[in-house]
Amino acid sequence: MSRSGRNPDRRVKTAKKRSESSTRWLQRQLNDPYVKQAKADGYRSRAAYKLIELDDRFGLIRRARRVVDLGIAPGGWSQVVRARSPKAEVVGIDLLPTEAIEGVTIFEMDFMDDAAPARLEEALGGLPDLVLSDMAANTVGHKQTDHLRTMALVEAGAWFATETLEEGGAFVAKVLAGGTDTELLGLLKKHFKSVKHAKPPASRKGSSEWYVVAQGFKGRG
């Protein structure tokens, strides 16, 4: 993304009812070129560019026919899939309500619900060949606890992928602290031909988030 012509950093005054952390977050948003570009391009979040950059590197979307977006809200990743593979069937699922996206079926439910896999497969018209997850657990402010909660969510997403993916499919998920836990890494290497880590440029430099990209699902045989 071109950053030429970027305005000097805008400073935000701390309002009486706004905490210092909220003020810092708002200042980052106002000065973030990806936030500005998302608004210009019609994407619901700056996270859309993370998937765009991962797709440019790994070729995830172009051949995808049936895609599941775990934790779809607010919908930026599904928007990217629709833009890059207009003929693909896309289904999103989230506990949070998500505004409708043209060409995307959205379920407001827990992806770990026993009924979820069958409903997603029915909506897709078959097994998915790409499962995406940009999920992170709600933070409590304790670094180790937040990490464990998010990694547990990632592992649940990985199990979902191995139980639903079509042979040859791919799984992409956000992870923290630069890598996956040993157990999760073992699970992915067992079921996928290629497992790599990547930090797309759209991820903030100070963020601990990375992405794990598992491709070539070996099947359940």
Among 50, 174, 189, 199, the active-site one is: 174
> Is 87 a catalytic site residue?
no
Q: Cα separations (Å) of 36 from 76, 202, 206?
A: 14, 12, 19
Compute, in degrees rounded to 10, the torsion defined by CA atoms 174, 195, 52, 120: -70
148-154 contacts, C-beta under 8 A, 24 or more apart: 150/174, 150/175, 150/176, 151/175, 151/176, 151/180, 151/181, 151/184, 154/180, 154/184, 154/212
DSSP characters over 38-102: HHHHT-SSTTHHHHHHHHHHH--STT-SEEEEET-TT-HHHHHHHHH-TTSEEEEEESS-----T
Catalytic residues: 174
